[in-house]
Homo-oligomer: A and B are copies of this chain.
């Protein structure tokens, strides 16, 4: 969970008071969808789940099964008898909808909502996101409880996201703005910058090694007659060097390539 604490320069909130948004499923119909939503939450470090009157009762075997390991989320879900009760202790509530509504509330993308949530949570506010019923979404009364609306950009011709997918996108955008690293921890920051090139397990070659390889290759190509006519030699060499340069070769790869060259020319160099 430490990965998720919002901003390095703000006091850390006790998780029990809230360091992350609460996901609120309003009258979800299928236990399976609750489980899949819980799993999506866990993928992005969220664990505070509230359920308003799940249709098929609670606890749900289907939910546990579909959670596929996100048991901590499912088992700690809190039950409420109304949407109003489920948001009672929150400072700011977002309602997710698939289509535009005439409700005169701010409409945010998941990305913008995530920024807004980060700011509020780091300032000590408790925030929550309402997700509607699989078939019919949130009612206008549910939405009235919310301060702003979250809509994901989708193809208007195929606009309906299922429940777990809506939870996934919202959780994902929240997580992206926190601290995280890709894979081996080579990268750890919140702001998403350009990707790094990871040379796993091998040290990048020095320019000296790289040039040694170039000269080896070019020496053999001079001998084999490839770098002719002489007036084209400089540009041919430039092109070859450029393409290998782009590969950001490691030491080990340089050794491999030198082995390749030696192997290819070996036979014709053998004394007759």
Contacts and interface: CB of A to CB of B under 8 A. Distances in A.
Interface of A: 3-4, 39-40, 42-45, 69-70, 99-109, 111-112, 148, 151-162, 164-165, 168-169, 172, 175-176, 180-184, 186, 190, 192, 194-202, 217, 220-221, 224-226, 236, 239-240, 243-244, 246-250, 252-253, 256-257, 259-261, 263-268, 270
B260 A155 contact: no
A244 B256 CA distance: 12
B165 A153 contact: no
A70 B225 CA distance: 52
Contacts of A247: 243-244, 246-247
Contacts of A266: 224, 268
Q: How many copies does the complex hold?
A: 2
B243 A260 contact: no
Contact of A103 (B168, B200, B225, B256): B200
Contact of A70 (B103, B158, B240, B246): B158
A221 B100 contact: no
B176 A153 contact: yes
